Structure 1
Amino acid sequence: MNQDDYVQGIWDSSPFIAWIHNISKNQMKYLNSKVKDLNLGHEMRFIMGIYDNPGISQDDLVAMFGQSKANVAKALKKLEEQGYIKREVNPENRRKYMLKTTSKGNELVPKLRKISRDWEAEVGITDDDYELKKRIKEIAINGMKLTEEL
């Protein structure tokens, strides 16, 4: 049995979520390899989420990315210290902050998106995969709803 057959056999028996996790991890490795000098890891996802949703809260990021409050807080602190995001007090709830990207963050996100699109092209994700992306997004949203109260 050659190595490709062995790997194929392992992956055929893996749960669906293992494939999704593998895709996510490999995309992050690719992104990190392209922006090593920035000293960012999974924080890149948070800055893109903030960029896309100005005024988003830390709790919203926790739900969106399925990360612990501690991990999100640590990542946000790093992004703030590096000047990519800023926190503003929410006028409707003074105990919460609204997160926004700074001009430095606004310059970075399009670069990260370009790298991400390059990765997608390299691994074979095309515009024809729109329905698949839509379905995976629906599954992710359903998962967030299902675990919201846990």
Structure 2
Amino acid sequence: MEDESVQGIFDNSPFIAWIHNISKNQMKYLNSKIHDMNLGHEMRYIMAVYDNQGLSQDDLVAIFGQSKASIAKSVRKLEEKGYIERKVNPDNRRKYMLNTTSKANELVPRIRQISKDWEKEVGITEEDAELRKRIRQIAVNGMKLTEDM
């Protein structure tokens, strides 16, 4: 049995299964490096808000394809842990704008470095820039395709 089959990666596996596998293994790696913070996949939400201050919970739903209830629960947890602040949007009082706190702002560079280390370890290089662009475009296309579903 080949090593790759242990992870469920076979030649005839759907492309998306490979992407899912990559994502899951990166999360395992990240969590092993910052296990004391008990963040799990929620660190991705911190990163999204850090890069886009004022993002709404609905934006997170669209970006990550999670349910509104799941995002609301995660945002509440991140707020309780002191990583995210919610403020009422002055243009729409029924929505909240999300911003990172200083605690999150200190954490993000650490997460980014760990992510770079993981990419290096698994063989992602600067030569993969075009592949990154293509996969990002596929992700955007998928979001557009399903945004009204």
- TM-score category (smaller protein): over 0.9
User: Following the alignment from structure 1 to structure 2, what is the Cα–Cα distance between the partners of residues 65 and 33?
Assistant: 22
User: Following the alignment from structure 2 to structure 1, what is the Cα–Cα distance between the partners of residues 142 and 92?
Assistant: 27
List per-residue Cα deviations over 1:7-41 (Å, max 9, x = no partner). Answer: 29961010000000000000000000001100110
Match in the other structure for 1:102: 101
Q: Secondary structure at the match of 2:119?
A: helix
List per-residue Cα deviations over 1:69-105 (Å, max 9, x = no partner). Answer: 1111111111100000100110100110000000001
User: Following the alignment from structure 2 to structure 1, what is the Cα–Cα distance between the partners of residues 126 and 64?
Assistant: 24
Q: Secondary structure at the match of 1:14?
A: coil
Match in the other structure for 1:143: 142
User: Following the alignment from structure 2 to structure 1, what is the Cα–Cα distance between the partners of residues 13 and 32?
Assistant: 27
User: Following the alignment from structure 2 to structure 1, what is the Cα–Cα distance between the partners of residues 30 and 4?
Assistant: 28
Q: Secondary structure at the match of 1:12?
A: coil
1:62-81, aligned counterparts within 5 Å? 62-81=61-80
Gaps of 5+ in 1: none
Q: 1:6, CA displacement in angstroms?
A: 8.0
What is the Cα-based RMSD across aligned positions, in Å? 1.5
Match in the other structure for 2:86: 87
Output the TM-score relative to the length of structure 2: 0.95
CA contact (8 A) 2:87 2:98 kept: yes
1:1-150, aligned counterparts within 5 Å? 3-4=1-2, 7=5, 11-150=10-149
Give aligned-pair identity as a percent. Answer: 72
Q: 1:129 to 1:40 in 2, by over 3 A?
A: same
Q: 1:126 to 1:81 in 2, by over 3 A?
A: same
User: Following the alignment from structure 1 to structure 2, what is the Cα–Cα distance between the partners of residues 79 and 90?
Assistant: 19
Gaps of 5+ in 2: none
Q: 1:10 to 1:91 in 2, by over 3 A?
A: closer
Task: After the TM superposition, list the runs of 4 or more consecutive aligned residues in structure 1 that deviate by more than 3 angstroms.
Answer: none
| AA of the residue aligned to 1:75 | S
